[in-house]
Amino acid sequence: MQLQAISPSRLPEALAERVASSRAEDGSPWLRVVLDGAPAALPGELARDVAEALRVRGRPTRVVAAHDFLRAASLRFEYGREDPDAYYDRWLDTGALWREVFAPLDPGGSGQVLPDLWDPVRDRATRSPREALPPGGVLLLHGALLLGRWFPVDLAVHLSLSSGALARRTPPAERWTLPAFARYREEIGPGETADVVVRMDDPRRPAWNG
């Protein structure tokens, strides 16, 4: 894959331009974009910057964090608090994301997106109200291990880290998750699956295939 250097300040603008030029393949009036990356790649920060660049272009945007759609602690920690296979397979409530985030943006949907569902710190429902995304708007879902789950995504962006960079930039208390990301690379191949790949080994010198 040929990657080109891009400045950190230019990256959100370039991604916003790519999003603005994309279309929903199923005829939905909304565009559904995933920014997939390990926490060390800071997908949430990039999602917020891209959202701001889209709003400047007149595109209403909703940013949703996958981390706000985790399962209850009793399910996440059934096999212990540091089980990488459970982190990979069981932590994310994919059914809730389908139901509460993606289904309202299907053709003929209501456009009423639930911004979050579960507070993993308090381990209870957030009870947030739904938020309207007008036709022509963009959903930006960010988080880890999001590809290969058959979400109806119109544009998938993967923030790539080499194994060494991921290990260096992951806090010691979270390094037990590293086998999950190794499994993700082997089973899903996000660098080949995504429409856009951004190499983030050095956040001061990103590169992308856009």
Residue 25 has pLDDT above 90, yes or no: no
Per-residue pLDDT tens digits for 179-192: 999 999 999 999 99
Q: What is the pLDDT of residue 128?
A: 96
Per-residue pLDDT tens digits for 39-80: 999 999 999 999 999 999 999 999 999 999 999 999 999 999
Q: What angle do CA 32, 12, 186 make, to 5 degrees?
A: 65
Residue 1 has pLDDT above 80, yes or no: no
How large is the average pLDDT for residues 24-31? Answer: 94
CA distance 151 to 15: 20
- CA dist 18 → 99, 154, 177, 196 (Å): 27, 12, 31, 9
Q: What is the mean pLDDT of the chain?
A: 97
Residue 100 has pLDDT above 80, yes or no: yes
Task: Find out whether 102 and 74 touch, Cβ atoms under 8 Å.
Answer: no
Q: What angle do CA 200, 143, 170 make, to 5 degrees?
A: 55
Banded model confidence at residue 29, pLDDT cuts 50, 70, 90: very high
Strand partners, 58: none
How large is the average pLDDT for residues 122-134? Answer: 96
Q: What is the pLDDT of residue 98?
A: 97
Banded model confidence at residue 21, pLDDT cuts 50, 70, 90: very high
Closest CA to 196 of 156, 150, 162, 141: 156
Q: What is the pLDDT of residue 2?
A: 87
Q: What is the pLDDT of residue 184?
A: 98
- CA dist 86 → 81, 95, 124, 194 (Å): 9, 16, 20, 24
- CA dist 140 → 5, 81, 101, 173, 183 (Å): 23, 29, 10, 28, 25
Report phi then psi at 62, rounded to 5. Answer: -120, 125
Banded model confidence at residue 210, pLDDT cuts 50, 70, 90: confident
Residue 149 has pLDDT above 90, yes or no: yes
Quickly tell me which residue has 């639930």 as its tokens.
114
Residue 9 has pLDDT above 90, yes or no: yes
How large is the average pLDDT for residues 152-165? Answer: 97
